[in-house]
């Protein structure tokens, strides 16, 4: 996901935040790039000189789409993206 963001964020981003969703089954993780602060969350996984550490922890997929909280989070993201697009006159 982080590599995808790196390829996109330098290309005339007109909305203040860019969201990405990584899904494993019905669980999902939300990535958020903030244009103002140029920050991307969740944070990257720190490299280790001995061990391969490029595997994200399972806890990163902290939303369950089939539970109320996960469904609500997805609806919030959709609503915010729609608001940003309307504000930037992309629709």
| Model pLDDT for residues 21-59, shown as the tens digit of each residue | 999 999 999 999 998 898 889 988 777 778 776 677 778
> Is residue 64 within 8 Å of residue 30, measured between CB atoms?
no
Among 77, 69, 71, smallest CA distance to 15 is for 77
> Is residue 44 within 8 Å of residue 50, measured between CB atoms?
no
pTM: predicted TM-score of the whole model, two decimal places: 0.79
Structure confidence at residue 65 as a pLDDT band (50, 70, 90): very high
pLDDT value, residue 58? 79
- State the residue range of the domain holding 73: 2-87
Number of folded domains that form the chain: 1
Of residues 11 and 86, which shows the higher confidence score?
86
> Is residue 21 within 8 Å of residue 31, measured between CB atoms?
yes
Please compute the mean of the pLDDT values over residues 57-81 and round it to a whole number: 93
């Amino acid at each position: 996901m982080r590599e995808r963001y790196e390829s996109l964020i330098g290309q005339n981003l007109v909305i203040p935040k860019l969201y990405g969703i990584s899904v494993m089954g019905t669980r999902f993780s939300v990535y958020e790039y903030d244009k103002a602060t140029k920050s991307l969350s969740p944070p990257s996984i720190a490299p280790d000189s001995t061990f391969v550490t490029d595997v994200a922890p399972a806890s990163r997929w902290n939303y369950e789409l089939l539970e109320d909280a996960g469904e609500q989070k997805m609806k919030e993201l959709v609503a915010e993206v729609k608001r940003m697009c309307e504000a930037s006159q992309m629709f």
